Amino acid sequence: MFTERLQNAINDQINAEFYSAYLYLAMSAHFEAEDLPGMAHWMRMQYEEEVIHAMKFFDFMNDRGARVVLKAIDAPPSEFGSVVDVFAEVLAHEQKVTSLIHNLYTLALEEGDYPTQSLLKWYIDEQVEEEKSASEVLSRVKMVQDYPPGVLMIDQELAGRAAPTPPAQEE
């Protein structure tokens, strides 16, 4: 059985995951407007992945008989800077999400909630991948930021990002 404190924290995390999705969708719209369809696609795939993350928490709560309480999602920014600025923001955002996951894990340890600890190990591993991916793209766009053909080459490469796999299919 969940403690109220842990239920509230996971409900907050569900909200944070949906905000992440909303942020990446806004970034996708930005790149569409900038005629960078590959980067727009990459952000759209990131959006889909964040929805999957939120739903994994959602399903976990329901599976354990806890109450999911959906909250209002803050509006993401509507204006973004350069390609480098956007991917720097992606990396910073993923680092923030990592800290939220770590805080949740600490709380699950304090509460002695083993099922939540087990679930969060998946998220901890996932955040390593998220930060690595964002860092790699950021590093590459920094290299070519003043060379438009290079930006277009990276844009074309990012168009090939595959759709995320829902957790039930990952096993």
* pLDDT at residue 171, rounded to an integer: 44
* pLDDT at residue 2, rounded to an integer: 84
Q: Which pTM was predicted?
A: 0.93
Instruction: Show the tokens assigned to 60.
Output: 């976990």
- The Cα 74–Cα 60 span in angstroms is 23
Burial of 60 (0-12, 13-18, 19+ CB in 10 A): buried
Domains of the chain by start residue, with CATH: 4-163 (1.20.1260.10)
Q: Could you tell me the maximum CA-CA distance found in the chain, to the nearest angstrom?
A: 56
Instruction: List average pLDDT for each run of 10 residues in the chain, which is 171 residues long.
Output: 92 98 98 97 97 97 96 96 97 98 98 96 96 97 95 95 74 44
* pLDDT at residue 168, rounded to an integer: 60
Angle between helices 4-33 and 83-111 (to 10 degrees): 170
Residue 35 region by backbone torsions, left for phi larger than 0, else alpha for psi between -120 and 50, else beta: left
User: 93-103 in b/e burial notation, b at 16+ Cβ within 10 A?
Assistant: bbeebbebbee
- The Cα 104–Cα 120 span in angstroms is 8
